[in-house]
Amino acid sequence: MAVYVNNTDYYQPDKSNILSPEKIGIVAKCAGIEPKIVFKNIYFGVAYNQQHQLAIAKQVSDLIESKKDDIRLLVVNNITKFFKESKNKNHAAIVLKEVLGILCKICSRNKIALVCTGDANVTSRGIIPRPPGTFLKHTLNVIVHLREPSTFYPLAFKATLIKHQYMKTPKSVMINTTKTGHMLLFDRS
């Protein structure tokens, strides 16, 4: 079982950040799994602002405690969204630290993999972006920066390992994609 938490603006005109059940069904069928089985094994949560993000983190913690042996993966999409958009960075940092603290503690206690996506600080060309706030660098074990495809290489992502506890960093790899329908299949090269 897995838990998926999406941090998004409910009123945004672009609804591409909202998880689509159709896409999950297509991916399940391509993987040879019945979509009903997939939907029974995924718990969803959506946060629309910072306070809701904190409430969802506490709900996820309670859910994991009640189903300790079943859940093996927690995915948090766009965890830095409300930090980035906040006018009061100090308060936003405190809330983000608390959310990460709750999620990291419950995941480490129950041996659950935690995967978070988020924004990177904007840097000048040629310098590897870093996550916003120094607390993210200290809290997370592995940090990877994915650079979007350019006009010269429209199907190639560049993944740069920024932090890993067992390797010297940075290391980079190009990931080529083949677009098929609504999903991307990754080929490491």
Q: Cα dist. 62→50, 90, 137, 139 in Å?
A: 19, 27, 26, 21
Residues of the chain with CATH 3.40.50.300: 2-140
For CA atoms 33, 73, 165, 92, give the dihedral sign: positive
What's the confidence (pLDDT) of residue 161?
67
- The alpha-carbon radius of gyration of the chain (Å, integer) is 17
How far apart CA 162 and CA 142 sit, in angstroms, is 8
pLDDT, tens digit, for every residue of 26-55? 888 988 999 999 899 989 888 888 899 999
Query: What CATH code is assigned to 2-140?
Result: 3.40.50.300
How far apart CA 54 and CA 99 sit, in angstroms, is 6
Token pair listed for 24: 């999950």
What's the confidence (pLDDT) of residue 184?
40
Token pair listed for 188: 């490491």
Q: Which residues of the chain have pLDDT under 70?
A: 10, 12-18, 121-166, 168-189
What is the spatial order of strands in the sheet that 42-47 belongs to?
Answer: 42-47, 2-7, 73-77, 113-116
What's the confidence (pLDDT) of residue 133?
62
Model pTM score: 0.74
Residue 126, by phi and psi: left (phi above 0), alpha (psi -120 to 50) or beta?
left
What's the confidence (pLDDT) of residue 76?
87
**In terms of Cα–Cα distance, which of 116, 88, 121, 120 is closest to 103?**
116
